[in-house]
Structure 1
Amino acid sequence: MFGLIGHLTSLEHAQAVAQQLGYPEYADQGLDFWCSAPPQIVDHIKVTSLTGETIEGKYVESCFLPEMLANRRIKAATRKILNAMAHAQKHDIDITALGGFSSIIFENFNLEQFSQVRNVTLEFERFTTGNTHTAYIICRQVEAAAKQVGIELSKATVAICGATGDIGSAVTRWLDAKTDVKEILLIARNQERLKNLQDELGRGKIMALDEALPEADIVVWVASMPKGVEIDTKVLKQPCLLIDGGYPKNLATKIQHPDVHVLNGGIVEHSLDIDWKIMQIVNMEVPERQLFACFAEAMLLEFEKLHTNFSWGRNQITVDKMEQIGQASVKHGFRPLLL
């Protein structure tokens, strides 16, 4: 059995969803209540592969909210993720994906040092960040969506915002090794990590965001947009392709221009309907078939009986592992969301 650990996008969103899911005692509560609310299994899932095999899974709502980080409730946030992992393990889930901020919090606050959660000793091999599949899907979106809007990769400059992160570095390695993209622009806050990545690749220009945007034919956004930053479409090339790999996704609502194409990055479509309700709650356009690629990684590992932390640790994703999960993705009927 596979598991998915997720969370909602805001306190307001959480209150509305709690009512829909039949938890009225959660619906009118403020942030203090949500800081103490325990994880809940709120969805039971069935997925059928193109091979004909059907697997089952459970969705664990962690009750984490992004406002916890914004209001410096760090201990509450980290406790949410560890409690959700323990809850999944107690329910004998073989492989569970950490979705959204779950994996970011786990890595940024080094939660692997806290393996004991009350009476549960976490077995980390039961968990995956899902980042390898997410990176693979974003790369395939770059390749396919570029063709849709008439951008030739061999003549294109691709900017990676968040290039030193787990997903960003993996996307960069793939574009370097598996495509003929003309130029890669590397954007991130940590200059030392940027230089290390540039040395590893043997190419790529380190640039600030405002310098990179006018030069980029394609922008892959896999980092949180800094507060107060707005993208002026006048400085972008036309046509330009923006792939929004962040969470929650908001570039499409901020950028409206006929020659600037925004694609929700890291989203896959399944060939067959999935028996679940959770994607409707997070506002997928086709909720019975569309989902986050990180969640799909847990499904793929269950289909393949690879009950292991396939994606784990910062900057450990290789092109070989992306190809491996990519082959499984195609085999079982997942495809990248396109324009």
Structure 2
Amino acid sequence: MFGLIGHLTSLEHAQAVAHQLGYPEYGDQGLDFWCSAPPQIVDDITVKSLTGQVIQGKYIESCFLPEMLSQRRIKAAIRKILNAMATAQKNGVDITALGGFSSIVFENFNLKENKQVRDVELDFRRFTTGNTHTAYIICRQVEQMSAQLGIDLAQATVAVCGATGDIGSAVCRWLDQKTDVQDLLLIARDQERLQALQGELGRGKILGLEEALPLADIVVWVASMPRGVDISSIPLKNPCLLIDGGYPKNLDSKLQQPGVHVLKGGIVEHALDIEWKIMEIVEMDVPDRQLFACFAEAMLLEFEQWHTNFSWGRNQITVQKMEQIGAASVKHGFKPLLHF
């Protein structure tokens, strides 16, 4: 059995969909209440592969909200993620994906030092961030959508915003090794990590956001938006392909410029309907078929019986592992979202 640990995009979103989750009493409650609310299994899932194989899963709503990332509430955020992981393990889930901010909180706050959660000793082999599949899907979106827009990768400049993150660094490795992209622009806040990545790749220009974006034919955005940063006034090329791999995906409203095509990055479409309700709550355009690639990774690991932490740790994703999960993705009927 596979599991998916997720969360909603804001307190307002959580209040609006509480009744759909089966907890209408949560709908009128404020952030303090949500900080104390326990994780809940809110969906049972059935997925059928193109091979005919059928698997079962559970969706665990962590009741974490991004507002909990403030310094005053960060302990609540940490508690939410650990409790959701313990809930998955106690319910016999073999492999669980940490969706959205769950994996970021886990990595940034080194939660692997917190194996004991009340009466549960977490077995981290049962969990995956899903980042390998996400990085693979974003790279395939770059390759296929650039062709649709008439952007020749051999003559293109690709800017990766969030280049030193787990997904961003994997995207850079793929573009370096698997494509003939002309130039890579590396954007991140940590200059030491940027220089290490540049050294690993043996290429790439380290630039700031305002300097890099106007030069890029393709922008891969896999970073959180720094507070106070407004990118709406930065002029982009025409045409420009922007892959929005952040969460929540909102760059289409921030970059409304002629010729700028914003694609929801890291989203896959399944060839067959999935029996679940949770993607309606997170407002996917085609909720029976579309989902986050990180969630799909847990499904792929269950289909293949690879019950291991396939994506784990910071900047450990290799092109070889991206190819491995990519082959499984194609086999079982997943494909990148390729329309705006």
Structure 2 equivalent of residue 12 of structure 1: 12
Q: 1:196: how far off?
A: 0.5
- Does residue 324 in structure 1 map to residue 335 in structure 2? no
Whole-angstrom CA distance in 2 between matches of 1:290 and 1:71: 34
Task: Write the letter of the residue equivalent to 1:246.
Answer: G
Contact 2:159/2:218, CA 8 A, preserved across alignment: yes
Q: 1:6: how far off?
A: 0.2
Task: Write the letter of the residue equivalent to 1:13.
Answer: H
- Does residue 42 in structure 1 map to residue 50 in structure 2? no
Q: 1:231: how far off?
A: 2.2
Contact 1:233/1:257, CA 8 A, preserved across alignment: no
- Does residue 184 in structure 1 map to residue 184 in structure 2? yes
Task: Write the letter of the residue equivalent to 1:237.
Answer: K
- CA displacement 1:163-200 (0-9 Å, x = unmatched): 00000000000000000000000000110100000000
Task: Write the letter of the residue equivalent to 2:32.
Answer: D
Residue aligned with 2:151, SS: coil
- Does residue 138 in structure 1 map to residue 118 in structure 2? no
Structure 2 equivalent of residue 108 of structure 1: 108
Task: Write the letter of the residue equivalent to 1:262.
Answer: V
Whole-angstrom CA distance in 2 between matches of 1:20 and 1:121: 32
Structure 2 equivalent of residue 173 of structure 1: 173
- Does residue 162 in structure 1 map to residue 167 in structure 2? no
Structure 1 equivalent of residue 28 of structure 2: 28
Task: Write the letter of the residue equivalent to 2:268.
Answer: V
Change (3 A) 1:66 1:234: closer
Deviant stretches of 4+, over 6 Å: none
Structure 2 equivalent of residue 335 of structure 1: 335
Task: Write the letter of the residue equivalent to 1:249.
Answer: K
Structure 1 equivalent of residue 198 of structure 2: 198
Shifted more, 70-79 versus 303-312: the winner is 70-79
Shifted more, 253-262 versus 269-278: the winner is 253-262
Q: 1:71: how far off?
A: 5.8
Structure 2 equivalent of residue 55 of structure 1: 55
Task: Write the letter of the residue equivalent to 1:99.
Answer: G
Residue aligned with 1:263, SS: strand
Contact 1:3/1:97, CA 8 A, preserved across alignment: yes
Structure 2 equivalent of residue 275 of structure 1: 275
What pairs up with 1:221-260 in 2 under 5 angstroms?
A: 221-232=221-232, 235-260=235-260
Q: 1:288: how far off?
A: 0.3
Residue aligned with 1:55, SS: strand
Q: 1:233: how far off?
A: 5.9
* Count of matched residue pairs: 339
Q: 1:19: how far off?
A: 1.5
Q: 1:232: how far off?
A: 3.6
RMSD of the TM alignment (CA)?
0.9
Change (3 A) 1:71 1:32: farther
Task: Write the letter of the residue equivalent to 2:222.
Answer: V
Residue aligned with 2:79, SS: helix
Q: 1:20: how far off?
A: 1.9
Structure 1 residue runs without a partner (length 5+) = none
- CA displacement 1:238-263 (0-9 Å, x = unmatched): 00011000000100122223410000
Q: 1:123: how far off?
A: 0.3
Structure 1 equivalent of residue 214 of structure 2: 214
Whole-angstrom CA distance in 1 between matches of 2:132 and 2:33: 34
Contact 1:233/1:260, CA 8 A, preserved across alignment: no
Contact 2:232/2:254, CA 8 A, preserved across alignment: no
What pairs up with 1:273-312 in 2 under 5 angstroms?
A: 273-312=273-312
Shifted more, 313-322 versus 255-264: the winner is 255-264
Residue aligned with 1:329, SS: helix
Structure 2 equivalent of residue 95 of structure 1: 95
Q: 1:62: how far off?
A: 0.2
Q: 1:21: how far off?
A: 2.4
Contact 2:55/2:303, CA 8 A, preserved across alignment: yes
Task: Write the letter of the residue equivalent to 1:214.
Answer: P
Task: Name the TM-score, length of structure 1 as normaliser.
Answer: 0.99
Residue aligned with 1:223, SS: coil
Whole-angstrom CA distance in 1 between matches of 2:110 and 2:22: 34
Whole-angstrom CA distance in 1 between matches of 2:182 and 2:335: 26
- CA displacement 1:141-169 (0-9 Å, x = unmatched): 00001011110000000000000000000
Whole-angstrom CA distance in 2 between matches of 1:17 and 1:110: 31
Q: 1:234: how far off?
A: 6.0
Structure 1 equivalent of residue 152 of structure 2: 152
What pairs up with 1:60-79 in 2 under 5 angstroms?
A: 60-70=60-70, 72-79=72-79
Whole-angstrom CA distance in 2 between matches of 1:48 and 1:257: 40
Structure 2 residue runs without a partner (length 5+) = none
Contact 2:279/2:290, CA 8 A, preserved across alignment: yes
Q: 1:25: how far off?
A: 1.5
Residue aligned with 2:18, SS: helix
Task: Write the letter of the residue equivalent to 1:8.
Answer: L
